[in-house]
A and B are shown apart, each in its own frame.
Chain A
Amino acid sequence: MAKHRCRIGIDVGGTFTDFVLANMATGELTRYKEPSVPADPSKSVERGLPPLMELAGVEPENVELIVHGTTLLVNAIIQRKGAKVALVVSKGHRGILEIGRARLANSYDFTVQKEEPLVKRNLIYETESRTMADGTIIGRPARGELKAVAEQIKAQDIEAVTILLLHSYAHPEMEQLVAADLRKRLGKIPVTESAHIWPERREFERSLIAIMNAYVNPLMTAYLNLLTKRVEGLNIKAPIYITANNGGTLSIDTARDRPIDTILSGPASGVVAATEAAAVTGNKRLITVDMGGTSCDMAVTQGGEPEYTTQTHVGDFPLVLPVVNVSAIGAGGGSIVWVDPQGVLKVGPQSAGADPGPVCYDQGGTQPTVTDCYLLTGFIHPDHFLGGRMHLDRKGANKALEEIAKKIGIKGPDRAVKAAEAALQVTTAIMSTELYKGLAQRGEDPRDFALMAYGGAGPTQGNLLAQEARLTQIIVPPAPSVFCAMGAILADVKRDYVRSNHLKFAEGKQAIKDLATIFRTLEKDAKAWIKTEGKLLGKAEFTATVDMRYAGQAFDLQVIIDDKLRSKPTVEGLSELFHIEHEKIYGFRDLESGVEVTTERVQVTGKIPPITLPKLKRKKGTKAAERRKVFYEGKFRNVPIYHRNELGAGEVIKGPAIIEQSDCTIVIIPKWSAKVDGIGNLLITADGKKTKKKK
């Protein structure tokens, strides 16, 4: 039985639920797609698992691990469909969610509106409890105050209560006291302290993490219970893990307690898969582009590690948890092509989404989208879309793009397809400028990077994008559209821990002693937790960062510190790291102001035994399966079409060519060629150019 051990990764998307099964003995990968059931995502899991296992030839008892990702929670927040939460705050601060960070989403629009808070102000209750920054308690619950609060909460059908008292990140006692009191009075209604979920300074951001956690908790619990039941119903006894924001995974119990840690996990998993897939290609610096039906996300990985950020958003809300740094870039397959009243061609930012979708889906969409342009130019075939599951309406797309042609003054028999190509040029320009901007934000030069293109439309657009952005190589992994599911089973178990404080090196040795204690405590907490996360895990590893600043500055720089400095921090060692980082970004060291530490973070990783990706057999000289007319640079060309599953390692396909596979279409433009590597990645490079191999 052991030789048939396998792992299953499952990613629930808006249209399809993707499955990847890895046979640990043979290294063989099996992929499967099942239409999603938006109302109950676990239903599509239940439906998809039996055919997946049948395809792979494994039995339920062979499954040793299921890793699952879902966008259920982020949608609940965006659509405001979570639990009714009450918030308890220090007196005078009921405005916390109304004021937020005081910024509006737009700087010139006089009709701009604020985001709707997750807790309305009438469900925010005050307590006299108040701690100062140094821990001094200047207010305790007034007599009868918490009793009255509890009664009001009970009268309001509240499903969860969050406590946010000022300075609890460093001094959690008062929050614990209030929570304990309310727990006694409220019985079954869960009560959580903000510092218990994420003890970082900045009350608005901390409150959001705790509130969002409470807000999606009932939904997550119900979902995970249902999922467990359904998976067990299929006689699968394997543990279920849930993908996390930081590119790792969490046991189902941790995910139930801390759903907030899983909220942005979908795109993060894809980046993890990209990092792993690129490892064998020799490319250590990657831009990942995940282009789907409605959106397009980019991320950067360097040296085999995805990049993290602590500044991201969930819907309208800022999120300061460490997450894989994925940012949207303005176009996807669903982006709408339109013409402004002055006759200028535009693409996006509106998207036709999955409903009504592109015109060619024939589901009522009337405005042409980027996908319609792919269809008209012949990049994608109307009968081969999604492995032939969905026939595309070429006539409808043609009609819609004829309208565009008319408005921008394109005439002649090929006007619709010419308009389609024009729209793709604009799309490519938008994507390449966004990509450059993303790299500029990181202070990097795009030309040092290879492009990893995945998602349903990524490989269709990738070559056009790379040419425009002047990247030298595109990598298309073997199964681009189930990449997030793939990432799920490649990921290790990870969790982040944080402490905030104010340690001033200038004030003597105590600061560094405190720092050492904090790291010890964080490591101890992390160790204790990881032990409970399952038997599969190997040795625990730790990485640490500190946020530092010069005294008097309002903002911090994050510095990564090594094991030695973590276990034995020194003022000199830390200060020097900070000076170097400051000098790198701002061009100077400030030796007059003291250095301060404000935040410490530790990430613990429990290694999952690695999967060896299967080798592809060598084979060359594959014949084109067929030829079709493809419109590119102003004319139709008769272009060879290959089937990806017929290509062996070492095969070279010269552009112009199209490679089709069941889940996507790969376009290779003239003067570029694709080579198949040993594990089935397609490496597309410009002819006559040597691929840059970066360290």
Chain B
Amino acid sequence: MGKETVQLDPILLEILNRKVAAAADEMAVTLQRTSRSTYVKEAADYGTGIADLNGNIFGYPARNSVNHINRFCGPSIRAIPDLKPGDVIVTNDPYLSGGLATHLPDLHMIKPFIHAGKIVCYGWCFIHFSDMGGRVPSSISPSNHEIFQEGLRVPPMKLVRKGVLNEDFVKIFTANCRTPDANMGDVQAMLGALHTGSERVADIIERHGVATFVACQKALQDYTAEKTRAVLRRIPEGTYAFWDYMDDDLVTRIPLRFRIAMTVADGKIHIDLSGSDPQVRAAYNVPTLGIAHPWLMMRLISFILTNDSSMALNAGIYRHISVTNPAGTIMNAEFPDAVGIRHAAARRLSDAMTGAILKASPDIMAAPSCGASVPFVVAEQSPEGGKPAVQVIEPLRGGMGAWKGHDGADNRENTMNNMNNHPVETVEADAGVVILSYDIHPDSGGPGRWRGGVGQRITTEVLRDGCTILARGMERLRFSAWGVAGGKPGRPFRAILNEGRTDETELSKIDQLSVKAGDTVTFMMPGAGGFGDPYLRAPESVRTDVERGFVTREATADDYGVVITRDGQVDDKATKKLRSGRVRDNIRADFDFGPEREAWEAVFDDKTMEVLNTGLYSLPKSVRQEKRRWIVSQAVPDLPVAGTRSLAETMADPDAIRARLVKAMAEVFGDERAAN
């Protein structure tokens, strides 16, 4: 054993490891079986766990999404000083629960588990509810800018008092959401899960004794911390800065930057997010409250678990990770910022983390995944009037990033969630659409010695007038998933109305798009980043890709330097000639970000962004976004909407733009800072 020696012998530790994880898993199974929410059934957007007396999770099931391994139950527990046996705490508010909740649709519960009259641990669970009230059905909209628009806020309070349901809470709760019956059904599912957990904990205590059970809570976290550190030691020591962008925040056209500086020393990680852009007047903010919050570390956790699949899942996994994350950045939202779509930001932060780890060593991490996932929804006006019928057509997927030695997975992806799609036959039976095509998106995977995964491509015809298309989460229309170690970026997101017809229109991000009977909408999901020089890809692999349709024959020469004949064979001679005659100056040895990001950073480079953000953070929050918008509009007055005109074209004269930028910053911040 290493320095952080566990208290229990290594046999009992493993037995209790299995048992507490299984107890938490039985909670999950109970919840999953008795919840009717689609979020639970299809998207697995729920969690269960068992927390120690400080509120840190020590028992966690492998079936839960790993985004939540530690939820800080501590602040919510401490908010209820008179907690008694038989009580259950409920909350959904990120700001009032100390970061336990991260947006309002997630309703959390905590129940003290009792042995001999004393609290020995806490059961915890949450479900993403279908509706928590607020401005729009389902409570989430990117254009919300205050949390008050996002639904009913529940501060930590008692849902159950000494075993009796708090009817006052129930009345307020059911009066404030659109689906009260289904919601109360899910509340019962959660209470059932907590009950299961308390029974299993009682079993463990009966079998092994309360002292052992209490000792295992710390011992298991110590064990995991030690195992985690062993993995983190595989990252070479040093400081690695990296950043990535969301195309914009929907309410402006300005790219939104996520900057991470990761310092690694002896298996300890420090993450500095202070270079990230300010919070936005839209629902993309992430409420992490400045703490080492799980939503800041998803990719790191994925890295750890990929490297050690025998890890006991608990809060110990975070012990050697610390964070600097000042208030007011996109990754540390301040009350009352809207947070409904915080996962879009967390996804891009994960890509930035991916880059930081790759910078440390390209051998230990994959290129970024496609970077977007979109629930494609059609809202149909019913012929009799009344509520529109809302139907999710498909959750659209891109591909996974390639890594040293392997292509990335095509048209499936697990970065943020890993949910089932809907059978075409079910969708067409339920909604007034025909899915004309649901297939792969050829050439979208980033070329490389190992190819990035391609995205999906779907074309849907709407059969009735008066329909609205919703597609939140459209991202990477402008900035592609980048290539690594000589690999190329994936193709960006595209959406087209009436493709191939005379009224064909390229779409930018869709908030709500009205369509009429006969219209078709095509989504081309972005591909993931490639890894390694595509000119080193085995010609036979390129041939197979062409044969199966992942790469078109037309693209192989440009993308791979491989010539495929009309009858599908590798033309060895032509390939050799092409590969040896390559122009060397467009090879990016480390990262290939693609032309759009290069054009943007010709002006808005790291240094400039630091000056801009330092200036903005010195301003009061109330004017920050307004000034940011004004400065950028002075510099690039014709900044296009993502997915339309290219930045390379718009920003063809970077010197002029930079001059305007410096002038605008000087005007806002005063001369000294801008001249810096």
Q: Is the CB of B303 within 8 A of A440?
A: no
- Cβ of B406 within 8 Å of any chain A Cβ, yes or no, is yes
Please, what's the 1-or-0 string for B423-463, where 1 marks a CB less than 8 Å from any CB in chain A?
11110110000111111100000000000000011010000
Q: Closest residue to B437 on the A side, CB-wise? A: A92
B302 near A343 (CB under 8 angstroms)? no
The CA-CA distance from A107 to B409 in the complex, in Å, is 13
Q: Which of B341-395 contact A (CB under 8 A)?
A: 365-366, 369, 389, 395
Q: Is residue B301 contacting chain A, with contact meaning CB distance below 8 A?
A: yes
Q: How far is the CA of A198 from the CA of B671 in the complex (A)?
A: 76
| Cβ–Cβ < 8 Å partners of A470 in chain B | 203
Which positions 291-341 of chain A face chain B at CB distance < 8 Å? 339-341
B299, chain A: closest CB distance, angstroms: 8
Q: A113, A343, A425, A434 — which one has the most chain B CB atoms within 10 A of its CB?
A: A343
Instruction: Count A/B pairs, Cβ under 8 Å.
Output: 219
Q: Looking at chain A's contact residues, is the secondary structure mostly helix, strand, loop, or mixed?
A: loop
Q: Mark A390-415, 1 if CB is under 8 A from B, else 0.
A: 00000000000000000011000000
Known: A343-B1, A502-B429. A441 touches B29 (CB 8 A): yes
| Distance A425 CA – B18 CA, assembled complex (angstroms) | 11
B303 to chain A, nearest CB (A): 7
Q: In the complex, which residues of chain A have a beta carbon less than 8 angstroms from the beta carbon of B438?
A: 92-93, 95-96, 99
Contact, CB under 8 Å: A132 / B428:
yes
**When the two chains form their complex, are residues A107 and B414 in contact, meaning their CB atoms are under 8 A apart?**
yes
Q: Does B540 contact A (CB under 8 A)?
A: no
Q: Are B22 and A586 in contact (CB under 8 A)?
A: no
Contacts of A95 in B (CB 8 A): 411, 438-440, 456-457
B565 interface residue, CB < 8 Å from A?
A: no
In the assembled complex, B217 has its CB within 8 A of some CB on chain A: no
Task: A203 to B422: give the CA distance in the assembly, Å.
Answer: 10
| In the complex, chain B residues whose CB is within 8 Å of the CB of A169 | 425
Is there a chain B Cβ closer than 8 Å to A133's Cβ? yes
- What residues on A are CB-neighbors of B369 within 8 Å? 110
Complex: A50 Cα to B257 Cα, angstroms: 78
> Is residue A111 contacting chain B, with contact meaning CB distance below 8 A?
yes
- State which of A93, A114, A342, A552 has its C-beta within 8 Å of the C-beta of B437: A93
Q: Interface code A199-238, partner B: CB below 8 Å = 1, 0 otherwise?
A: 0011111000000000000000000000000000000000
Q: List chain A residues, Cβ under 8 A from B226.
A: 342
Q: Which single member of B305, B429, B457, B548 contacts A109 (CB below 8 Å)?
A: B305
Q: Given the known A-B contacts A102-B420, A425-B15, are A340 and B227 also in contact in the complex, defined by CB atoms under 8 Å?
A: yes
* Interchain CB contact (< 8 A) of A108 among B182, B401, B414, B439: B414
- Select from chain A the residue with minimum beta-carbon distance to B459: A92
**Is there an interface contact between A101 and B420, defined as CB atoms closer than 8 Å?**
yes
Partner of A345, one of B10, B182, B223, B426: B10
Interface membership of chain A positions 335-355, coded 1 if the CB is closer than 8 angstroms to chain B and 0 otherwise: 000011111111000000000
Is A1's CB within 8 Å of the partner chain B? no
In whole Å, how far is A448's beta carbon from the nearest beta carbon of chain B? 14
**Known A203-B423, A587-B34; contact A92-B439, beta-carbon cutoff 8 A:** yes
Q: Tell me if B423 and A554 are in contact (CB < 8 A).
A: no
Q: Inside 8 A of A430's CB, which chain B residues have their CB? A: 18
Binds A, one of B36-44, B70-78, B642-650: B36-44
How many chain A residues have a CB neighbour from B under 8 Å?
70
B547–A101 touching, CB < 8 Å:
no
Taking a contact as CB atoms closer than 8 A, the residue among A108, A343, A345, A422 that contacts B306 in the complex is: A108
Q: How far is the CA of A440 from the CA of B32 in the complex (A)?
A: 10
Which single member of A91, A92, A110, A167 contacts B403 (CB below 8 Å)?
A110
Quick check: B411 and A120 within 8 Å, CB to CB?
Answer: no
B302 contacts A109, C-beta separation under 8 Å:
yes
Closest to B302 in A: A108
- Do B11 and A345 have beta carbons less than 8 Å apart? yes
Q: Which of B11, B418, B457 has the most CB of A within 10 A?
A: B11
Stretch at the interface among B85-93, B183-191, B504-512: B183-191
Interface residue ranges of B38-68 to A (CB < 8 Å): 38, 41-42, 44, 65-66
Decide: A112 and B414 in contact? CB cutoff 8 A. yes
Q: B185 contacts A110, CB within 8 Å?
A: no
Could you tell me if A426 and B459 are in contact, using CB atoms closer than 8 angstroms? no
Q: Which residues of B contact A409 (CB under 8 A)?
A: 9-10
* Pairwise interchain contact A121-B11, C-beta atoms closer than 8 A: no
Closest chain B residue to A109, Cβ basis: B306
Residues of B within 8 A of A54 (CB): none
Whole-angstrom distance between the Cβ of B31 and the nearest chain A Cβ = 10
Contact pattern, B 227-267, Cβ under 8 Å of A = 1, otherwise 0: 10010000000000000000000000000000000000000
B452 to chain A, nearest CB (A): 12
Closest to B191 in A: A587
Residues of A within 8 A of B400 (CB): 110, 112
Tell whether B25 is near chain A: CB-to-CB under 8 Å.
yes
0/1 interface trace, chain A 128-169, chain B, CB 8 Å (1 if under): 000011000010000000000000000000000000001101
Nearest neighbor of B187 in chain A, beta-carbon distance: A587
Say whether B549 faces chain A, with CB atoms less than 8 Å apart: yes
Instruction: Kindly state the separation between the CA atoms of A104 and B306 in the bound complex, as whole angstroms.
Output: 14
Bound-complex Cα distance A166 to B301 (A): 41
Question: Would A104 and B413 be within 8 Å (CB), given that A92-B439, A99-B456, A169-B425 are in contact?
Answer: yes
**Chain B residues near A114 (CB-CB < 8 A):** 409-410, 412
Residues of B bordering A, CB below 8 Å: 1-2, 6, 9-11, 13-15, 17-19, 21-22, 25-26, 29-30, 33-36, 38, 41-42, 44, 65-66, 181-182, 184-185, 188-189, 196, 200, 203, 207, 223, 226-227, 230, 301-303, 305-306, 309-310, 365-366, 369, 389, 395, 397, 400-401, 403, 406, 409-414, 417-426, 428-429, 434-440, 456-457, 459, 547-549
Contacts A/B (CB < 8 Å), 24 sampled: A94-B549, A95-B440, A95-B457, A99-B456, A100-B412, A101-B420, A102-B421, A107-B65, A109-B302, A109-B306, A112-B409, A114-B410, A114-B412, A132-B428, A201-B423, A201-B429, A342-B2, A343-B1, A343-B10, A429-B19, A436-B22, A440-B33, A587-B184, A587-B185
